[in-house]
Structures are given as structure tokens and as C-alpha cells.
Amino acid sequence: MAENTPSACVKIAACICGKDGVLSRVEELTLFEVLKEQFPSFKAEAFEEALTQFFDSNDQIEEYLSLIDDQSLREFTLKLAEVSAGADGLNVKENIALEKAYLIWGMKHHA
């Protein structure tokens, strides 16, 4: 069931970032900074709670992607994931989860 919330964006982006092996502190900080630009009222506590829910879950990328059905929020979430995943210097073009998200949502990757 779709949530269309900033917390859903966090979970999806964390899942994509983590697919390269680890969700680094740099990725987390970038994720929060970009999220705050879009949702200024989103608090650090809510961000930490979304990350905790992500780490406590066994959900896969497909389950996370079902949390958002709003097209503009999907576009933002993929941008969020891409910027965050690249924050630690790894090549996002090699992130299979990001490519999978674009495919599942039927969107064209502009990288």
C-alpha cells in the first residue's frame, strides 16, 4: 500500500544506497540534507525512525518501491537515491538497485 511520505523516500533511497554493500555515514548525511531541501519540516527524529525501520526490515526493493505511487515523488526519490548513493564516491551507474527502480517504475534513467 502506497504511503507517499518522506519516510518512504528514505527507505527506498537507503535500500538503493545499501545495495553496494553498506549504507555509509556520508550517504546518510546526504540523504537527510537532500530530503530536508524538499521537505523542510521533516525532522531528524523522523529520519532516524525511517532508517531504523529500514534496518529492522527484511523487505526487498520491490516492496519499498510499492510505498510510492505519486509520479513526482517517484522522480524526487530516484534523484534522492542517486545523489546519496554517489556521495561516497562509488559509481551510481553500477548500482543495480537504482536501475531496477527505474525499470519497475517505468521511468527513463537520465544519467
Residue 1 covered by a domain? no
Give the count of domains, the chain.
1
Residue 34 covered by a domain? yes
User: Over 70: is that where the pLDDT of 111 sits?
Assistant: no
Residue 111 covered by a domain? no
What is the extent of the structural domain holding 66? 6-104
Average pLDDT over residues 14-33: 88
CATH code for position 41: 1.10.3680.10
Residues 80, 36: Cα–Cα separation, whole Å:
11
| pLDDT tens readout for residues 58-105 | 999 999 999 999 999 999 999 999 999 888 776 777 788 889 999 999
- What is the rounded average pLDDT for all residues in the chain? 90
50 falls in which pLDDT band (50, 70, 90)?
A: very high
CA-based torsion, 44, 5, 99, 18: positive or negative: positive
Residue type present at position 49: E
Neighbours of 79 (CB within 10 A): 15
Residues 107, 96: Cα–Cα separation, whole Å:
15
Residues 66, 46: Cα–Cα separation, whole Å:
20
